[in-house]
């Protein structure tokens, strides 16, 4: 009888130990929502998660595949419902609203010094809102000119390098020289004209958004802002050196014409090289050239890919530890190679694998030091300004429907009315 009573007590104690939540005893499981989509990139991410899980008994990571096309809506709903993934992959220009909404954890004080020091200040600026840091920028890509190498060589034009790029004036002259007979020197894919124009305008000293002493932002379309749009407009409308049909196309849409010898150059993101390697006809010789430079050299704006931690995550420390693991220099190189992009980390960027002549990696890495936060990165109301004012205005300007004066008036007058509503 006594033995039975003892057995009951032991069983109750055991039950007490194993039940009642037991959150401290079992392994922590973190959900990592990745937006990797290219074959090599998905593989690299999954491998890294596997490696983490194999070496971390108490913190397991579940890989969840997300998609770029719907990430904002999906995250917003998840945040509102308290069901967001612990670790969130996104782009820096998508973070401002989430950070202001209190959905993302401020990583200040959580990040290891190694990571903080490894990533340049200018990259951290893309994820810093107010006093907080709401994501780790880890991959970025410059916009480059992908050129038909054979065509350029035969034409005898000077081939630009990151050390000696074309100026915008020279670029216009060269595209005019390459054009004729139904062929064009350049095909601008400007389905999304605003970010392309604004980001490239940094090279000519364009800023567009000006923050006053009161902290309020206004739009001013000044001399530096005019250079890039005027070049594109004149190439398409005056010189006939830019294909007018591609102005409304996406980057991928221009590739058949590029491979078919219709355009000598296409300005594209650096990661488009993957598509070009896959789709270019046998023997097609292509090369990457730096985008033209202006008064501010090769500077251009970027919105890096980021890793953030959800404010609701009960395991922020563990989540940051995983981010730190994922972004160790060697791992950052694997992610960069998988996505055909550049790492933000200086040690990863120095890796020989990213300095090869193959697929012109070296040209891209030489541009990394010139990349700056996209001008509109932290401007509240930018999304509405872009959709309602800037996109139609630039589209009409590039198509020749309106002139530079009308473009300026709409960007400034209509644009400032939009921004003012967000800054009352």
Partner 1 sequence: MRTRPAARAGQYAALLAYLSFLAFPFLWLVSVAFKPARELGSLHPTWIPEHPTLANFRQAFDEQPLLHAAVNSLLAAVGAAVVAVVVATPTAYVMARRRTRLTRAVSGWVVVSQAFPFVLVIIPLFLVLKNLRLIDSLPGLVLVYVVWALPFALWMLVGHVRAVPVELEEAAAIDGAGRLRTLVSVTAPLLAPGIAVTGLFAFVTAWNEFFFALVLLKSARQQTLPVVLTHFIGAEGVADLGPLAAAASLATLPSLVVFAIVQRRITGGVLAGAVKS
Q: How far apart are CA 390 and CA 383, in angstroms?
A: 10
For residue 344, the SS3 value is coil
Residue 29 in the binding site for partner 1 (CB under 8 A): no
Contacts of partner 1 in 188-217 (CB under 8 A): 191-192
Rounded Cα distance, 56 and 63, in Å? 15
Name the residue with tokens 């989509």: 37
Shortest approach of partner 1 to residue 173 CB, angstroms?
Answer: 27
Q: Which residue lies nearer to partner 1 by CB, 63 or 422? A: 63
Helix, strand, or coil (residue 373): strand
Site string for partner 1, 269-308 (x = CB under 8 A): x-xx--x--xxxxx--------------------------
Where do the DSSP E strands lie in 337-392?
342-343, 371-373
Q: Indicate which single residue of 28, 53, 56, 68 sits in contact with partner 1 (rule: CB under 8 A).
A: 68
Taking alpha carbons only, the member of 322, 349, 422, 360 closest to residue 107 is: 322
Site membership for partner 1, residue 74 (CB under 8 A) = yes
Applying CB under 8 A, which of residues 10, 51, 65, 210 lies at the interface with partner 1?
65
Do 414 and 249 touch, CB atoms closer than 8 A?
Answer: no
Minimum Å gap between C-beta 288 and partner 1 is: 17
| Sign (positive or negative) of CA dihedral 288, 274, 34, 101 | positive
Under rule CB under 8 A, residue 131 binds partner 1: no
CA distance 275 to 13: 62
Which of the ranges 168-176, 199-207, 244-252, 368-376 carries the binding residues for partner 1, by CB under 8 A? 244-252
Concatenated DSSP letters of 291-320: PPBBTTBT-EEE--EEEEEBTT-S-HHHHH
Could you write out the DSSP letters of every residue in 389-406?
Answer: IIHHHHHHHHHTSS-HHH
Cβ atoms of 46 and 276 within 8 Å: the answer is no
Is 399 a binder of partner 1 (CB under 8 A)? no
Judged by CB under 8 A, does residue 82 bind partner 1? yes
10 binds partner 1 (CB under 8 A): no
- Segment contacting partner 1 by CB under 8 A, of 9-17, 59-67, 156-164, 383-391: 59-67
Listed ranges 16-24, 57-65, 163-171, 360-368: which one lies at the site for partner 1 (CB under 8 A): 57-65
Return residues touching partner 1 (CB under 8 A).
31, 35, 37-39, 42, 62-65, 67-70, 73-74, 77-78, 80-83, 85, 91, 191-192, 250-252, 255-257, 259-260, 262, 269, 271-272, 275, 278-282
């Amino acid at each position: 009888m006594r033995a039975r009573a003892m057995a009951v007590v032991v069983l109750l104690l055991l039950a007490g130990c194993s039940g009642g939540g037991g959150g401290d005893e079992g392994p922590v499981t973190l959900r990592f929502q990745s937006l990797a989509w290219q074959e090599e990139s998905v593989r690299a991410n999954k491998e890294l998660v596997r490696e983490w899980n194999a070496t971390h008994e108490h913190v397991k990571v579940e890989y969840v595949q997300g998609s770029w096309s719907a990430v904002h809506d999906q995250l917003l709903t998840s945040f509102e419902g308290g069901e967001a993934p612990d670790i969130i992959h996104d782009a820096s220009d998508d973070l401002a609203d989430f950070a202001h909404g209190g959905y993302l954890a401020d990583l200040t004080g959580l990040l290891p010094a190694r990571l903080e020091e490894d990533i340049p200040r200018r990259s951290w600026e893309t994820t810093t809102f107010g006093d907080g840091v709401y994501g780790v920028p880890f991959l970025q890509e410059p916009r480059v000119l992908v050129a038909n190498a054979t065509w350029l060589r035969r034409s005898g034009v000077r081939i630009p390098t990151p050390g000696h790029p074309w100026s915008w004036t020279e670029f216009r002259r060269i595209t005019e020289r390459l054009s004729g007979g139904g062929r064009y020197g350049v095909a601008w894919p400007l389905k999304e004209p605003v970010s392309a124009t604004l980001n490239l305008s940094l090279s000519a000293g364009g800023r567009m958004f000006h923050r006053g002493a009161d902290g309020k932002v206004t739009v001013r379309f000044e001399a530096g802002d005019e250079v890039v749009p005027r070049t594109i407009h004149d190439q398409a409308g005056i010189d006939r050196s830019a294909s007018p049909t591609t102005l409304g196309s996406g980057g991928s849409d221009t590739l058949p014409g590029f491979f078919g010898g219709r355009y000598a150059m296409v300005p594209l993101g650096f990661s488009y090289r993957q598509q070009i390697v896959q789709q270019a006809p046998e023997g097609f010789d292509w090369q990457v050239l730096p985008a033209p430079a202006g008064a501010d050299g090769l500077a251009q704006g970027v919105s890096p890919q980021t890793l953030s931690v959800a404010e609701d995550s009960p395991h922020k420390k563990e989540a940051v530890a995983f981010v730190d693991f994922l972004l160790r220099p060697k791992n950052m190189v694997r992610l960069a190679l998988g996505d055909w992009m550049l790492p933000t980390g200086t040690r990863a960027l120095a890796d020989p694998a990213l300095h090869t002549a193959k697929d012109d990696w070296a040209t891209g890495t030489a541009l990394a030091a010139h990349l700056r936060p996209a001008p509109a990165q932290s401007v509240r109301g930018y999304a509405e300004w872009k959709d309602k004012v800037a996109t139609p205005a630039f589209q009409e300007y590039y198509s020749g429907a309106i002139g530079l004066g009308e473009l300026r008036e709409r960007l400034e007058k209509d644009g400032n009315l939009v921004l003012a509503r967000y800054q009352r």
